[in-house]
């Protein structure tokens, strides 16, 4: 299963590290990553592979949201299929 | 990989524009549960509903988590109970109603529909007994929903049952008076009722359906409104095109949820209902879409025009996004459930007469309309008759869900809480149709029914 993780918030040092460390700890592979500053906000989009993830989808999502809160950014994780359904015929 | 723009747009649809799935509804046939012993029927029914719907709530929660897409209601729709209980006494019918309600509570689902009767032709004693039990059935339950189909383009209009229903609705109002007559929100009168409608109070599992299926009702008026806001100067054909595109995207989420839920629950897919359904939340309103199109207030001249094109564009966009569509597909215009509609009524721009006109081009009818509690039953029957005529003569589904709020006067407010919202008691035309309604009998089907 693949998922899209988005991270939006005020730019600061260590955002990518905080998120990617958490993913590595849970055996989640990052397949693609793009990062930009949009309208003054740090915006990062990751495509990740959850096939070997050690924990359940909802648990990982909660951990990500919690970690995001600690460093002051909004983190979101949704199944890739939602983006496929809406954006691809 | 998707472009950043696609990803941000999709996330905003959910986060900022209140995109949600209104309902996942499992339709279950009870034909194989029937028995002339009521307790046996109840036991069989319980076993069967639990077998199919036991994991409905947990699967819905799992899907919510995976897609970040709220699923607002989890429901079950049953074979119209009146078809299975011909020989039952009044007391036994109430026992069945309570048992169904208990099952819904046990499964922790929001609503359960199917305490229904389909009487568009003859109104016999069994149907009469069943319909007479509806007020008590609703008053003694919390999640049971009920509906009566009183007419169809093929068979005409049953005025006998319409004249009875005026009294039935008044009785439901009285029996649930302590809750602002909330019971009336769980009862709807239909013409041309669809067999696969996932929306309450009118959901039931029609006789042409199989043993079990899963229907999904979409929502998402906020997403459409936001898309229209982005181009304020668009011509009406561009507006239409924008709505169509957004309806496509919204429906795709419905189709996706349907596929996942069917797989997880091991239940075959039914239909995706393409309806835009509002919630009382600001920014999640059909009325706000109509106003965004350029009306000062919903209810003013131009409202029917705007609603007609919205309804058609939603159908066109959605039809391509889902394999099987059905139900009521279009736009809902319930008053209390839509913050913009409530404001329209409060400002005096939106009247009952305008609402009636709007129902000739929307997907349902007079929905969640609160009228004074002392309204005569014949006037309610008259409202039903008008609305059913619109459906029958125009070959479309129409419905009436009207709430004569017990003890309330015009201008008072009622508050149902949650999805059902709040509303002002509307002013009604008091001129009596008593002599017409009391004629009874059956109106022959219109000439369009001869097409075959």
Contact B255 A85 (CB under 8 A): yes
Strands B187-191 and B144-152 turn out to be parallel
Q: ω into residue B201 within 30 of 0, thus cis?
A: yes
**Cα angle B142, B100, B388; round to 5:** 75
Residue B438 pLDDT greater than 80, yes or no: yes
Q: Closest by alpha carbon to B361, among B340, B330, B315?
A: B330
User: B11 to chain A, minimum CA–CA distance in Å?
Assistant: 9
| B residues 29-88 closer than 8 Å to A (CB) | 62, 65-69
Q: Best mutation site among A39, A76, A87, A88 for testing chain B: the one with the most B CBs within 10 Å?
A: A87
Q: A26 with A62: CB under 8 angstroms? A: no
> Alpha-carbon distance B448 to B280, whole Å?
38
- Search chain B and give the residue with CA nearest A59: B65
Reduce the DSSP state of residue B6 to 3 states and report it. Answer: helix
Per residue in B386-418, pLDDT (tens digit) is 999 999 999 999 999 999 999 999 999 999 888
Stated as kind and residue range, the H or E segment containing A2 is strand A2-9
B264 has a chain A CB within 8 A of its CB: no
Among A45, A61, A86, select the one facing B249 at the smallest CB separation: A86
What is the pTM for the complete model shown? 0.94
pLDDT of residue B451: 82
What is the domain-level CATH number for residue A25? 3.30.70.260
Residue B363 pLDDT greater than 90, yes or no: no
Contact B68 A43 (CB under 8 A): no
If you average pLDDT over residues B324-340, what whole number do you get? 93
Q: Is the dihedral of CA B304, B309, B313, B315 positive or negative?
A: positive
A34 has a chain B CB within 8 A of its CB: yes
Domains of chain B: 1-451 (3.20.70.20)
Give phi and psi for B78, each to the nearest 5. -115, 160
Residue B98 pLDDT greater than 90, yes or no: yes
Among B4, B8, B67, select the one facing A79 at the smallest CB separation: B67
Reduce the DSSP state of residue B438 to 3 states and report it. Answer: coil
Per residue in B254-281, pLDDT (tens digit) is 999 999 999 999 999 999 999 999 988 8
Confidence of residue B247 (pLDDT cuts 50, 70, 90): very high
Q: Closest by alpha carbon to B174, among B186, B162, B184?
A: B184
Q: Is the dihedral of CA B152, B361, B416, B412 positive or negative?
A: negative
Alpha helices (runs of H) in B232-376, residue ranges in sequence order:
236-265, 286-292, 303-321, 339-346, 352-358
pLDDT of residue B394: 95
Per residue in A22-40, pLDDT (tens digit) is 999 999 999 999 988 877 7
DSSP string for B118-160:
E-SS---HHHHHHHHHHHHHHHT-SSEEEEEEEEETTTEEEHH
pLDDT of residue A40: 77
Among A6, A58, A61, select the one facing B7 at the smallest CB separation: A6
pLDDT of residue B119: 95
User: CA Rg, chain B, in Å?
Assistant: 21
Confidence of residue B233 (pLDDT cuts 50, 70, 90): very high
Which chain A residues are Cβ-neighbours of B256 within 8 angstroms?
81-82, 85
pLDDT of residue B356: 96
If you average pLDDT over residues B65-88, what whole number do you get? 95
A26 has a chain B CB within 8 A of its CB: no
- Search chain A and give the residue with CA nearest B322: A85
- Search chain A and give the residue with CA nearest B247: A86
Residue B29 pLDDT greater than 90, yes or no: yes
- Search chain A and give the residue with CA nearest B2: A83
Q: Best mutation site among A85, A88, A89 for testing chain B: the one with the most B CBs within 10 Å?
A: A85
Domain range holding A81? 2-87
- Search chain A and give the residue with CA nearest B4: A45
Residue whose tokens read 């169809």: B152
Contact A34 B4 (CB under 8 A): yes
- Search chain B and give the residue with CA nearest A31: B1
- Give chain A's mean pLDDT: 92
SS (H, E, C) B316-342: HHHHHHCCCEECCCCECCCCCCCHHHH
Contact B2 A38 (CB under 8 A): no
pLDDT of residue A37: 83
Q: Classify residue B367 as exposed, middle or buried by CB count within 10 Å of its CB (0-12, 13-18, 19+).
A: buried
- Give chain B's mean pLDDT: 95
| Domains held by chain A: number | 1
Cβ-based contacts under 8 A for chains A and B: 60
């Amino acid at each position: 299963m693949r998922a899209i993780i988005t991270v939006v918030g005020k730019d600061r040092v260590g955002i990518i590290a905080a998120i990617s460390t958490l993913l590595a700890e849970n055996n989640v592979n990052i397949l693609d990553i793009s990062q930009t500053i949009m309208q003054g906000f740090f915006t990062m989009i990751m495509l990740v592979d959850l096939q070997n993830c050690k924990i359940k989808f909802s648990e990982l999502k909660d951990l990500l949201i919690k970690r995001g809160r600690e460093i002051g950014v909004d983190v979101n994780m949704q199944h890739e299929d939602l983006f496929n359904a809406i954006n691809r015929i | 990989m998707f472009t950043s723009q696609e990803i941000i747009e999709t996330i905003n649809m959910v986060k900022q524009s209140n995109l949600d799935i209104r309902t996942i509804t499992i339709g279950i046939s009870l034909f194989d549960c029937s028995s002339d012993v009521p307790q046996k029927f109840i036991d069989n029914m319980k076993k069967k509903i639990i077998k199919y719907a036991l994991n409905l709530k947990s699967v819905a929660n799992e899907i919510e988590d995976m897609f970040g897409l709220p699923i607002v209601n989890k429901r079950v729709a049953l074979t119209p109970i009146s078809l299975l209980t011909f020989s039952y006494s009044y007391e036994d019918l109430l026992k069945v109603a309570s048992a169904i309600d208990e099952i819904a509570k046990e499964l922790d689902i929001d609503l359960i529909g199917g305490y229904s009767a389909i009487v568009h032709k003859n109104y016999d004693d069994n149907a009469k007994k069943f319909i007479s039990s509806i007020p008590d059935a609703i008053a003694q339950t919390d999640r049971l929903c009920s509906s009566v189909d009183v007419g169809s383009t093929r068979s005409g209009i049953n005025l006998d049952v319409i004249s009875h229903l005026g009294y039935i609705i008044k009785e439901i109002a009285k029996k649930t008076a302590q809750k602002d007559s909330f019971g009336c929100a769980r009862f709807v009168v239909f013409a041309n009722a669809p067999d696969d409608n996932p929306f309450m109070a009118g959901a039931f599992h029609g006789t042409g359906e199989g043993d079990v299926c899963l229907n999904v009702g979409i929502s998402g008026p906020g997403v459409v409104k936001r898309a229209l806001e982005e181009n304020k100067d668009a011509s009406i054909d561009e507006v239409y095109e924008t709505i169509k595109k957004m309806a496509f995207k919204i429906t795709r989420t419905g189709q996706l949820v349907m596929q996942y839920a069917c797989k997880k629950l091991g239940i075959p897919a039914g239909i995706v209902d393409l309806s835009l359904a509002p919630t009382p939340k600001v920014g999640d309103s059909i009325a706000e879409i109509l106003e965004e199109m350029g009306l000062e207030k919903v209810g003013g001249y131009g409202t029917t025009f705007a609603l007609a094109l919205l309804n058609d564009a939603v159908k066109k966009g959605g039809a391509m996004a889902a394999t099987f569509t059905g139900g009521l597909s279009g736009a809902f215009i319930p008053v209390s459930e839509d913050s913009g509609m409530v404001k329209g009524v409060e400002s005096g721009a939106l009247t009952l007469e305008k609402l009636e006109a709007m129902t000739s081009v929307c997907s349902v009818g007079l929905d969640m309309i609160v009228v004074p509690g002392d309204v005569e039953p014949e006037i309610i029957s008259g409202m039903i008759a008008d609305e059913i005529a619109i459906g029958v003569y125009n070959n479309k589904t129409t419905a009436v869900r009207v709430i004569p709020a017990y003890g309330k006067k015009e201008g008072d407010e009622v508050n149902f809480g949650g999805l059902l919202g709040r509303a002002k008691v509307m002013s009604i035309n008091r001129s009596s149709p008593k002599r017409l309604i009391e004629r009874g009998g059956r109106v022959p089907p219109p000439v369009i029914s001869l097409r075959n």
